[in-house]
Structure 1
Amino acid sequence: MSSNKFINLLVPIISLLLGLIAGAIIMVGFGYNAVEGFKALWNGAFGDIYFIGETVRQITPYIFSGLAVAFAFRTGLFNIGVEGQVIVGWLAAVWVGVAFDLPMIVHLPLAIAAAAIAGAIWGFIPGLLKAKLRVHEVIVTIMLNYTALYIANHLVRNVITDKGDRTESISSSASLKSQWLMEFTQYSTMHMGIILALIAAVFMWFYLEKTTKGFELRAVGFNQHASKYAGMNVEKNIILAMVISGAFGGLAGAMEGLGTFGYMSVQSGFTNIGFDGIAVALLGGNTALGVVLAAGLFGSLKVGALNMPVAGVPTELVDIIVALIIFFVASGYIIRWFLSRMKRRENK
């Protein structure tokens, strides 16, 4: 392993450790028992098969949203609109799940595809504006988050229902839930979506690293002018990158609509799945494997935090720990500088 790859691997690990240490210091500073707090956190995430099922369920949409952000980053784009893509994907999946009565072999794939297409369309808009008019994708994607939220709420209230606050439950033929899996995990909310999430991670790795089109997308992200000089269609690749990124975001929404909840309700605010995906991608180094591991961490923290009041520790401290981890990852250049200095000293 080269020194650069080794350092790239160490940075998120050190950031995680620093975040946990800082979190422990904060707990002690406020008079809480850090050991008991982290013990309760662990038990809340992995204490028994039920909690493991809940943790895996939480990890599933994080993998998709992390892949959405990471895919865009790897191609030189900043998809801050994954939250909006999650919402439209959730809505599209539930609408298909409610509106049609089909065999599962047709119904479930159709609902999943609808979510991916809805997210892809929501990614296509900023991609097109970026490619044709050079409108910065960060601005457009942020605006589309709010557009998705209010359009989805309007459709739930006035189209899918008659002034209702939530849709009907989807048909069982469109559900990702599995009876044997529910029984195995003591009736947790875990569903089969985790398999799709892992397949998506493999797809992203293979597409970006092993295909010609993936090389083109990365090349355009690295240097648009050089890519254009080499004969690549820069505009087409920008749009394609945002479409694929948006499809991942839409699939994250499908995990909620077809798996966790089985319906969609009027949202009083954002789900935060898309925004958490930014942190997942950042901690995962924008790689497929890194995203899966980072999603595992964030999902474990989110679910485990619910058990921390057992030790007398408020759940808000987990949000502080997550924020500290992100802070140390964002300050990774300091860690890199320190590791580089250590390496130079060893070589002297």
Structure 2
Amino acid sequence: MSQQRIPAWLTVGLVPAINILMAFAVSALLFVYIDINPLEAAQVMWEGAFTNAEGLGFTLYYATGFIFTGLAVSLAFHAGLFNIGGEGQAYIGGLGLGLVCLWLGELLPFWALLPLGVLVSGLFGAAWAYVPAYLQAKRGSHIVITTIMFNFIASALMAYLLVNVLKPEGTMATESRIFAEAAWLPKIHELLGYLGVQVAASPLNISLFWALICCLLFWLFVWHTRWGYELRSVGANLSAAAYAGIPYPKVVISTMLLSGMLAGFFALNVLQGELHQIKLNFVEGFGFTGIAVALMGRNHPIGVILASVLFGFLYQGGAELSFEYGIDRNIVVVLQGLVILFCGALEHLFRPRLESVYLRLTRKEAN
């Protein structure tokens, strides 16, 4: 069987779609087991996530965070690197953003705080990715191990800072003070309200636009620049890239810096857009879920967007399901696990059969 004869729509579109359908089919069996009609559950999730302005806003709010962390993982994948440190990089990116908002929020206007927050959150996320990148490029330490370790270090550092440095006096909550309103990102429903369109309130904010811009920049960089070509060359064949004179250490370090920067942008959506303060564990596993988003999206920005919306649907739909039936919200984790199982570990379960059927049909048409 010649792989060149298999069209991209089959491997990139049809195979993931079937994998997702299989994940939902197994999920249906789970709902039957806990005495819930799977069709009714699917209807509740769909209506709660897409059929009203509030639910759609929450879905896209979650999807925005997944876009940032999914792009971070995808960029590293293209260079043959497995960046599992998105959680810590997003955490430290939030630290940088929070410091800007806490220190300068009452001194600068919004138009100055916005680009400064984007810059600093990205720089802090990139800085947290630098040491694992250097150890991989210069010392041979595996990027998976070092990025996992740095997740724990970031968590411990943030816990210390929130308890001993950033926590206001007279409170026991592990959180900073509220940012000045000048540092808050406008919500989409507020912008629509200024235009005379009244919709239900949701945490969806303008960081969604920056996430989509990052997708465009990702596509331009990876597939339309010399640096992107070098990055993909190292990921495709390290020996050939070295023979062509592409410097491996430079590619590893620069790729991880950009990957950490993308993860750091996650804080814009959550801290500036919704919480308006630094809270302990505000990342809430989005960095790890970004790995699944990248795998499902085939490390392409369009795929990352679609996968992010899917996981946003699972988050918001799962919340509606929990409210409607009173079940544990951790059922969403099970649904996510099934999607990851079929789209990740069992990614190629149906692919050989589908390719065989396609080639058989095309041969018949040719004859």
TM-score, normalisation: structure 1: 0.94
Matches of 1:220 and 1:39, distance apart in 2 = 45
Identity of aligned residues (%): 33
Amino acid at match of 1:295: S
Amino acid at match of 2:79: T
Contact 1:92 1:115 in 2 (8 A): yes
Number of residue pairs matched?
Answer: 347
Contact 2:168 2:177 in 1 (8 A): no
Amino acid at match of 1:181: L
Q: Structure 1 pair 43/111, CA: closer, same or farther in 2 (3 Å)?
A: same
The equivalent of 2:157 in structure 1 is: 151
The equivalent of 1:309 in structure 2 is: 322
Amino acid at match of 1:231: G
Q: In the alignment, which of 141, 148, 152 is matched to residue 147 of structure 2?
A: 141
Q: Structure 1 pair 56/152, CA: closer, same or farther in 2 (3 Å)?
A: same
The question of 1:293 aligning with 2:285 is answered no
Q: In the alignment, which of 90, 94, 116 is matched to residue 110 of structure 1?
A: 116
Contact 1:182 1:190 in 2 (8 A): no
Amino acid at match of 1:246: G
Deviation at 1:2, TM superposition (A): 6.2
The equivalent of 2:349 in structure 1 is: 334
Instruction: Indicate the larger mover: 45-54 or 60-69.
Output: 45-54
Amino acid at match of 1:320: V
Instruction: Indicate the larger mover: 7-16 or 278-287.
Output: 7-16
Contact 1:53 1:185 in 2 (8 A): no
Matches of 2:323 and 2:163, distance apart in 1 = 39
The equivalent of 1:3 in structure 2 is: 6
Amino acid at match of 2:245: G
The equivalent of 1:68 in structure 2 is: 72
Deviation at 1:138, TM superposition (A): 0.1
Unaligned 5+ segments in structure 2 are none
Amino acid at match of 2:31: M
Q: In the alignment, which of 241, 245, 259 is matched to residue 227 of structure 1?
A: 241
Matches of 1:149 and 1:182, distance apart in 2 = 37
Matches of 2:280 and 2:334, distance apart in 1 = 28
The equivalent of 1:193 in structure 2 is: 207
Q: Give 1:242-321 correspondences, 5 Å limit.
A: 242-267=256-281, 271-312=284-325, 314=327, 315-321=329-335
Contact 1:182 1:189 in 2 (8 A): no
The equivalent of 1:161 in structure 2 is: 167
Deviation at 1:219, TM superposition (A): 0.5
Deviation at 1:262, TM superposition (A): 1.0
The question of 1:214 aligning with 2:223 is answered no
The equivalent of 1:181 in structure 2 is: 191
The question of 1:77 aligning with 2:86 is answered no
Contact 2:89 2:264 in 1 (8 A): yes
Q: Structure 1 pair 182/87, CA: closer, same or farther in 2 (3 Å)?
A: farther
* Partner-residue secondary structure (3-state), 1:333: coil
Contact 1:82 1:249 in 2 (8 A): yes
Matches of 2:20 and 2:234, distance apart in 1 = 32
Q: Give 1:80-91 correspondences, 5 Å limit.
A: 80-91=84-95
Deviation at 1:244, TM superposition (A): 0.4
